[in-house]
Structure 1
Amino acid sequence: MAETNWRRIDIDAFDPESGRLTRKDIEPPYSSQITSQEVSSKISQLRSLASSGDSKAAVALAVSDPPYSGDEATKNEYFKAVLETLSTVRQADIAGIVGDLTPVQQDALVKYLYKGMSVPEGQRQGGILLAWFERVTQVAGVRPVSHFINDRNTV
């Protein structure tokens, strides 16, 4: 029986020490860069829903399709709007809202909670962020936290 080439993938190409991989190779692919104008319209919708008292829809919109491909200024602008939205929700309603979110939305919510805990704007709202975090982990367990740790997309 003739020996065949059983090694079909050049695994050495994926060795970070080899110098073959560039930053472009390991960055997640985005279809296009999100603009500040697109984020501004979504922020307007968020504020409108939050001011009308529809907290459930506001939070669902806030954590749906985050601007992963935006620049840092755009991401920070959107983060502040998400923080405002989370701050308007009564603590008694948090568990119900988190329970209605999809797993992908819960993952995005955890990303915003961690970002909030790491910046001064969010640290001033620490009690609110911790209440949200507690409810997310009660409803979804540690899955969103492990996804946060392993995901390359940042908010």
Structure 2
Amino acid sequence: MDVSFRKIDIDQYEEDVLLDNELYEADPRDPTQVLNDTKQKGAAVHSSLSKGDIQGALELVLSDAPYGPNVEEAKNLNLQTLVTILNSTKATEIPGVVKSLSQDSQDTLMKYLYKGMGLPGWGDVSGSVLLGWHEKLTEVAGTGCIVRAMTDRRVV
């Protein structure tokens, strides 16, 4: 049986194909610079956590989140740093921390929560932590936050 027809890229013949680079501007930084920035941010987050500044640590990790192609290592490192923050936050502190975030930071946090939920076995974080944060974030930011996180093409 001939199945070679399944390997044809039909998008090359379509004039109206949308590519990722047409949907959003790529991160202007070099991939090595993105990785270095993420490592520096991780060190700053750990120092903020040691001081008990969860809100500051969360704002740091959510600002300038790596996105786009060729930065997968930086994305995973940023996710691990965020998971550290989520695990070290008490459930009673979550609503206050979430309320203090800007709308863009709330949307980015929602993206990271979904990314964490998409990991096989949920990675280094328990499901109850992710779902607890998701619940509190949805209460504060509303369902619009979910829609914006799902439709944004800049994947973290």
In the alignment, the residues of structure 2 paired with residue 26 and residue 138 of structure 1 have an alpha-carbon distance, to the nearest angstrom, of: 30
1:43-66 deviation line (CA, Å, top 9, x unaligned): 001111112211111112121221
Letter in 1 for 2:132: A
Unaligned 5+ residue runs, structure 1?
1-15
1:10-65 deviation line (CA, Å, top 9, x unaligned): xxxxxx93256555434533322343111110000111111221111111212122
In the alignment, the residues of structure 2 paired with residue 78 and residue 109 of structure 1 have an alpha-carbon distance, to the nearest angstrom, of: 11
In the alignment, the residues of structure 1 paired with residue 115 and residue 20 of structure 2 have an alpha-carbon distance, to the nearest angstrom, of: 23
**Matched residue, 1:10:** none
Matches within 5 A, 1:57-72: 57-69=56-68, 71-72=71-72
In the alignment, the residues of structure 2 paired with residue 153 and residue 147 of structure 1 have an alpha-carbon distance, to the nearest angstrom, of: 11
Unaligned 5+ residue runs, structure 2?
1-12
The answer to whether structure 1 residue 45 and structure 2 residue 44 are counterparts is yes
TM-score, length of structure 2 as denominator length? 0.80
**Matched residue, 1:28:** 25
Matches within 5 A, 1:6-155: 17-18=14-15, 22=19, 24-33=21-30, 34-69=33-68, 71-119=71-119, 120-122=121-123, 124-155=125-156
Letter in 2 for 1:28: E
TM-score, length of structure 1 as denominator length? 0.81
Q: Would you say the 8 A contact 1:83–1:122 is kept in 2? A: no
- Cα gap change, 1:47/1:89 in structure 2, threshold over 3 Å: closer, same or farther? same
Q: Would you say the 8 A contact 1:49–1:57 is kept in 2? A: yes
**How far did residue 123 of structure 1 move?**
6.9
1:92-116 deviation line (CA, Å, top 9, x unaligned): 0000000010000000000010011
In the alignment, the residues of structure 2 paired with residue 20 and residue 134 of structure 1 have an alpha-carbon distance, to the nearest angstrom, of: 37
Q: Would you say the 8 A contact 1:28–1:152 is kept in 2? A: no
Aligned-pair identity in percent equals: 31
In the alignment, the residues of structure 1 paired with residue 124 and residue 117 of structure 2 have an alpha-carbon distance, to the nearest angstrom, of: 5
Of 124-133 and 25-34, deviating more is: 25-34
Q: Secondary structure at the match of 2:98?
A: helix
Question: Considering only CA atoms, is the larger Rg found in Structure 1 or Structure 2?
Answer: 1
Work out the number of aligned pairs and report it. Answer: 140
Q: Would you say the 8 A contact 1:98–1:139 is kept in 2? A: yes
